[in-house]
Structure 1
Amino acid sequence: MKKSVFALLVAASLPLSANAATHTLDGRSLTVDQLWEIAQPGEDVTIAKAGWQRINAGYKAPIHAAADGRSIYGLTVNYGALKDQRVAGTSVEDEPNFTASIKFNERQMRIQAAGVEPFISERESKMAMIIRLNQMAAGYTAMSTEGAQAFMDYINADVTPLIPSRGSSGANDLSLATHIGLSLMGEWDVMYKGERRDSKEVREELGLEPYRPFGLDGISILSNGNVAEAQNIAAVKKAEHLLDISPVIIASSLEALNGNVSPFLWHTVDTKGWPQGHEAAEGILGALKGSYLWELDNKRNLQDPLSFRSSGYILATAKEELRQAKELLNTAINHTTDNPIVNTEARDDLWYSNTPAVNALRVGDDNVFVNSGANFDNTQLAVQMESLGRALAQVIHISAWRTTQLDDGHRTNLPTYLIAKENVGGDGFANIAQSMSGLYAEAMTLTNSATLYGIPTSVGIEETFSNVNLIASRVAKMADIGYEIYAYEVLHTTQGMEIRMRDQDKKMGQGTSHLIEQYRKVVPFVDLDRTYTPDINNGIKFLKTYSAAK
Structure 2
Amino acid sequence: MVLLNGQTLTFEEVNRVLFDEVKVGFSDESLRKVEESRKAVEKIVEDERIVYGITTGFGKFSDVYIGKEDVETLQLNLIRSHACGIGEPFPEVLSRAMLLLRANALLKGFSGVRPVVIERLLDLVNAKIHPVIPQQGSLGASGDLAPLSHLALALIGEGDVFYKGEKVPALTALTKEGLFPITLTAKEGLALINGTQAMTAMGVVAYLEAEKLAYQSEYIAAMTIEGLRGIIDAFDEDIHLARGYREQVEVARRIRDHLADSQLTTRQGELRVQDAYSIRCIPQVHGATWQALNYVKEKLEIEMNAATDNPLIFNNGEKVLSGGNFHGQPIAFAMDFLAIAMAELANISERRIERLVNPQLNDLPPFLSPEPGLQSGAMIMQYAAASLVSENKTLAHPASVDSIPSSANQEDHVSMGTIGSRHAHQVITNARRVLAIETICAMQAAEIRGTDLMAQATKQFLKEAREVAPFIAKDRIFSNDIEAVTSWLKGASLPAGQSSKDHSRTKA
Q: Same fold (TM over 0.5)?
A: yes
Aligned equivalents of 1:40, 1:298: Cα separation in 2: 48
Which deviations, in whole Å up to 9, do the C-alpha atoms of 1:369-390 show, x marking residues without a partner? 2111000111121112211211
Aligned equivalent of 1:11: none
> Residues 510 and 41 (structure 1 numbering): CA distance in 2 closer, same or farther, change over 3 Å?
closer
Aligned equivalent of 2:396: 447
Aligned equivalents of 2:162, 2:369: Cα separation in 1: 50
Displacement after TM superposition at 1:114 (Å): 0.7
Aligned equivalents of 2:8, 2:131: Cα separation in 1: 25
Aligned equivalent of 1:340: 311
Aligned equivalents of 2:131, 2:280: Cα separation in 1: 47
Given that residues 292 and 341 in structure 2 are in contact (C-alpha distance below 8 angstroms), is that contact kept between their aligned partners in structure 1?
yes
Q: Does 1:178 align with 2:149?
A: yes
Displacement after TM superposition at 1:109 (Å): 0.8
Displacement after TM superposition at 1:542 (Å): 2.4
Aligned equivalent of 1:526: 472
Aligned equivalents of 1:427, 1:207: Cα separation in 2: 60
Equivalent AA in structure 1 for residue 140 of structure 2 = G
Given that residues 140 and 328 in structure 2 are in contact (C-alpha distance below 8 angstroms), is that contact kept between their aligned partners in structure 1?
no
Q: Does 1:237 align with 2:208?
A: yes
Equivalent AA in structure 1 for residue 339 of structure 2 = G
Aligned equivalents of 2:376, 2:309: Cα separation in 1: 60
Aligned equivalent of 1:84: 63
Displacement after TM superposition at 1:299 (Å): 4.7
Aligned equivalents of 1:533, 1:123: Cα separation in 2: 26
Given that residues 74 and 216 in structure 1 are in contact (C-alpha distance below 8 angstroms), is that contact kept between their aligned partners in structure 2?
yes
Q: Does 1:318 align with 2:289?
A: yes
Matched ranges for 1:133-282 at <5 A: 133-171=103-141, 172-282=143-253
Q: Does 1:108 align with 2:87?
A: no
> Residues 136 and 170 (structure 1 numbering): CA distance in 2 closer, same or farther, change over 3 Å?
closer
Equivalent AA in structure 1 for residue 468 of structure 2 = V
Displacement after TM superposition at 1:174 (Å): 0.9
Aligned equivalents of 2:256, 2:466: Cα separation in 1: 22
Equivalent AA in structure 2 for residue 335 of structure 1 = A
Equivalent AA in structure 2 for residue 230 of structure 1 = A
Equivalent AA in structure 2 for residue 156 of structure 1 = N
Equivalent AA in structure 2 for residue 271 of structure 1 = A
Q: Which runs of 5+ in 2 are unaligned?
A: 498-508
Q: Does 1:379 align with 2:329?
A: yes
> Residues 41 and 512 (structure 1 numbering): CA distance in 2 closer, same or farther, change over 3 Å?
closer
Aligned equivalents of 2:153, 2:338: Cα separation in 1: 34
Equivalent AA in structure 1 for residue 132 of structure 2 = L
Equivalent AA in structure 1 for residue 201 of structure 2 = A
Q: Which runs of 5+ in 1 are unaligned?
A: 1-21, 89-96, 346-362
Q: Does 1:72 align with 2:51?
A: yes
Give the 3-state SS of the residue equivalent to 2:320 in structure 1. strand
> Which of these residues, 384, 397, 402, is aligned with residue 352 of structure 2?
402
Q: Does 1:58 align with 2:29?
A: no
> Residues 61 and 544 (structure 1 numbering): CA distance in 2 closer, same or farther, change over 3 Å?
same
Aligned equivalents of 1:434, 1:31: Cα separation in 2: 40
Q: Does 1:331 align with 2:302?
A: yes
> Residues 431 and 214 (structure 1 numbering): CA distance in 2 closer, same or farther, change over 3 Å?
closer
> Residues 455 and 410 (structure 1 numbering): CA distance in 2 closer, same or farther, change over 3 Å?
closer
Aligned equivalent of 2:9: 30
Aligned equivalent of 2:503: none
Given that residues 170 and 468 in structure 1 are in contact (C-alpha distance below 8 angstroms), is that contact kept between their aligned partners in structure 2?
yes
Q: Does 1:417 align with 2:367?
A: yes
Aligned equivalent of 2:506: none
Given that residues 27 and 335 in structure 1 are in contact (C-alpha distance below 8 angstroms), is that contact kept between their aligned partners in structure 2?
yes
Aligned equivalent of 2:455: 509
Equivalent AA in structure 1 for residue 78 of structure 2 = Q
Given that residues 88 and 135 in structure 2 are in contact (C-alpha distance below 8 angstroms), is that contact kept between their aligned partners in structure 1?
yes
> Residues 84 and 295 (structure 1 numbering): CA distance in 2 closer, same or farther, change over 3 Å?
closer
Given that residues 226 and 265 in structure 2 are in contact (C-alpha distance below 8 angstroms), is that contact kept between their aligned partners in structure 1?
no
Matched ranges for 1:531-546 at <5 A: 531-546=477-492
Q: Does 1:428 align with 2:377?
A: yes
> Residues 293 and 54 (structure 1 numbering): CA distance in 2 closer, same or farther, change over 3 Å?
same
> Residues 425 and 204 (structure 1 numbering): CA distance in 2 closer, same or farther, change over 3 Å?
closer
Which deviations, in whole Å up to 9, do the C-alpha atoms of 1:467-490 show, x marking residues without a partner? 111111111111111111112212
Aligned equivalents of 2:448, 2:19: Cα separation in 1: 42
Give the 3-state SS of the residue equivalent to 1:397 in structure 2. helix
Aligned equivalent of 2:94: 124
Given that residues 135 and 335 in structure 1 are in contact (C-alpha distance below 8 angstroms), is that contact kept between their aligned partners in structure 2?
yes
> Residues 344 and 325 (structure 1 numbering): CA distance in 2 closer, same or farther, change over 3 Å?
farther
Aligned equivalent of 1:359: none
- Structure-1-length-normalised TM-score: 0.85
Which deviations, in whole Å up to 9, do the C-alpha atoms of 1:411-451 show, x marking residues without a partner? 4332332234x668544334442333222211111121111
Equivalent AA in structure 2 for residue 138 of structure 1 = K
Aligned equivalents of 1:326, 1:344: Cα separation in 2: 31
Aligned equivalents of 1:279, 1:64: Cα separation in 2: 56
Displacement after TM superposition at 1:150 (Å): 1.8
Aligned equivalent of 2:443: 494
Equivalent AA in structure 2 for residue 390 of structure 1 = I
Give the 3-state SS of the residue equivalent to 1:81 in structure 2. helix
> Residues 139 and 295 (structure 1 numbering): CA distance in 2 closer, same or farther, change over 3 Å?
same
Displacement after TM superposition at 1:295 (Å): 6.1
Aligned equivalents of 1:213, 1:298: Cα separation in 2: 73
After superposing the two structures, state which structure 1 stretch, 448-457 or 492-501, moved more. 448-457
Aligned length: 495
